[in-house]
Amino acid sequence: MAAGGFCKLPNGTVVVALNLPSPAADGSRGVRVLVHARNRARALTRLRNLGLRAVYLRGNAAPPTPDEITAVLHHPDGLIWRTEPDNGVTPGELIPELWHPIKALLRRPTAQA
């Protein structure tokens, strides 16, 4: 389950934003994933087809910002991510991380025990 939200665009498509826990499972920051699709169900299906099986969108508590919408619309795959910012950091203190294609998240090496 993930916090997130969606925004319906004038052309009828949607941008879904989800906050997911870190795939490394080491207590590090989570990731924010953006998906552009025809509807919410298709957006979630795209993520599930990539192996993120337990992804659900309940409510609209954290919809995508206008900057996030622009970023995902300009990406050829329409599926991007970046790490969540630290909550204790004041805006403008750090340069925000750039958006990455979803393939970069799925092939990230995990820590070996």
Q: Are 17 and 74 in contact (CB under 8 A)?
A: no
Classify residue 57: in a domain, yes or no. Answer: yes
Q: What is the pLDDT of residue 53?
A: 80
State percent of the chain over pLDDT 90.
38
Q: What is the pLDDT of residue 6?
A: 94
Classify residue 111: in a domain, yes or no. Answer: no
Classify residue 22: in a domain, yes or no. Answer: yes
User: pLDDT: is 57 or 65 the higher one?
Assistant: 65
Q: What is the pLDDT of residue 88?
A: 52
Classify residue 112: in a domain, yes or no. Answer: no
At 5, give phi and psi (nearest 5°): -175, -175
Classify residue 46: in a domain, yes or no. Answer: yes
> Which range of residues forms the domain containing residue 93?
3-106
Give the count of beta carbons closer than 10 Å to the beta carbon of residue 6. 20
Which 8-state DSSP code applies to residue 16? E
Average pLDDT across the chain, whole number: 81
- Map residue 72 onto helix, strand or coil: helix
Classify residue 34: in a domain, yes or no. Answer: yes
Residue whose C-alpha is closest to residue 32's, from 84, 89, 75: 84
Classify residue 113: in a domain, yes or no. Answer: no
CA dist., res. 23 & res. 7, Å (int):
25
The domain total for the chain is 1
CA dist., res. 16 & res. 61, Å (int):
12
State percent of the chain over pLDDT 70.
74
Strands (E), 10-89: 14-20, 31-37, 79-83
9-62 pLDDT per residue, tens: 999 999 999 988 766 655 667 888 999 999 999 999 998 998 888 788 888 888
